[in-house]
Amino acid sequence: MSLNTTDVTTALPSLLAEAGLPDRYDRQPIRVWARSGVERLTFDCGASVVLKYAETPFDTEDHTLIAAAGAGLPVPAVHASTHVGGLLVMLIEDLGEATREAGIGDGARAAVQIHAITNLPGLPTVGQKHLSNLPANTAEILTRYDAPDDAVAAAGALTAAAETRAKGTELAPFGLVHSEFHHTSLHVTGRGLRILDLARAFVGPGVLDLASWSGTIDAPDVEDLWDLVDLYRAEGGAPEASADRGGIDAASWALGWHRVWVAEWFARQLDLGWAEGAEDAWMNAITKHLLEAATLLKT
């Protein structure tokens, strides 16, 4: 089901007035998903802003961006925002086109900046107890579906090992976590680097961001993550980023728990009915992530 943008259009006049912008504009989509969208508004005077809107649970990003900017993080400025019917609608700074794709060095430097913020009011905290509960949450959701035997077995093994393997969650770096930290979350221009897409940010173990950098489509690569950890430490990141956690090495721990976190998120989406006819694909993704996590966390 596509996002109903009627409330977005209705909210625009008051947002434009709040931001001191004209009420005549050209509106062009940049990227629109089922639950959120990003568009560009261009005005006759040559100015432009980005219009971003999102449903729950992505509807608190305006607060996160404002707080992160206040803490010194280089993020787009929020010009105006409102919440209507469970929908966030905001106007933010238009950064223009990126001049290049962010590389691993940019990722290491940005991660250091993100994790240096150790407290951001209003964000959920993912500590040791919360993390250790994720496999059981996933296993419980799987009981409501015709889940493959290997997914059920992996979720069970991860649940049994969770209390032990979650130890070390609160080692440094423990602070702001982007949570969807990829090269596309960094915007590089001649004016520098900005950090985008903080809709699912939380306070927790920063090494999960480092594990997120390479995504989860390809098989996990422990050696690649160690390269990023080394760069991260060289850029001023917490030395503890390379410390063993939960009885295993830091890279395996981060990659494993990141996949648990992703699997639980996919399971929750399945439970919310967001798969909308793609339930088999969702279940395949959950199974893949659970199996990889079980191997990485040595359950």
**Contact between residue 138 and residue 271 where contact means Cβ atoms under 8 Å apart:** no
pLDDT score for 5:
79
pLDDT (tens digit, 9 = 90+) per residue, 66-125? 999 999 999 999 999 999 988 999 999 999 999 999 999 999 999 999 999 998 888 999
Asked whether the predicted pLDDT for residue 1 surpasses 80, the reply is no
Mean residue pLDDT of the chain comes to: 96
Share above pLDDT 70 across residues of the chain, in percent, rounded to a whole number: 99
Range 104-296: architecture per CATH: Alpha-Beta Complex (3.90)
Phi, psi of 118 (to 5 degrees): -95, -10
pLDDT score for 85:
82
What does R_g of the chain's alpha carbons equal in angstroms?
A: 20
> Given the DSSP bridges, would you call strands 192-195 and 186-189 parallel, antiparallel or unpaired?
antiparallel
How far are the Cα atoms of 156, 188, 216 from residue 231, in angstroms, in the given order?
A: 35, 19, 21
The CATH number given to 6-93 is 3.30.200.20
pLDDT score for 132:
98
Helix 149-165, helix 128-142: angle, nearest 10? 160
How far are the Cα atoms of 58, 242, 277 from residue 145, in angstroms, in the given order?
A: 26, 38, 14
pLDDT (tens digit, 9 = 90+) per residue, 15-24? 999 999 999 9
Task: Locate the domains of the chain by residue range.
Answer: 6-93, 104-296
pLDDT score for 173:
98
Q: Output the pTM of the full model.
A: 0.95
**CA-wise closest residue to 267 among 178, 158, 167:** 158
pLDDT (tens digit, 9 = 90+) per residue, 223-268? 999 999 999 999 999 999 999 999 999 999 999 999 999 999 999 9
Asked whether the predicted pLDDT for residue 219 surpasses 90, the reply is yes
The helix (run of H) or strand (run of E) holding residue 79 is strand 78-84
Distance of CA 245 to the CA centre of its chain: 22
Asked whether the predicted pLDDT for residue 3 surpasses 90, the reply is no
Share above pLDDT 90 across residues of the chain, in percent, rounded to a whole number: 92
DSSP three-state, residue 131: helix
Asked whether the predicted pLDDT for residue 157 surpasses 60, the reply is yes
**Contact between residue 109 and residue 192 where contact means Cβ atoms under 8 Å apart:** no
Question: pLDDT category, 34, cuts 50, 70, 90?
Answer: confident
pLDDT score for 277:
85
pLDDT score for 33:
87
**CA-wise closest residue to 186 among 83, 73, 31, 268:** 73
Q: How far apart are the first and last CA of the chain?
A: 38
Distance of CA 85 to the CA centre of its chain: 23
pLDDT (tens digit, 9 = 90+) per residue, 134-148? 999 999 999 999 999
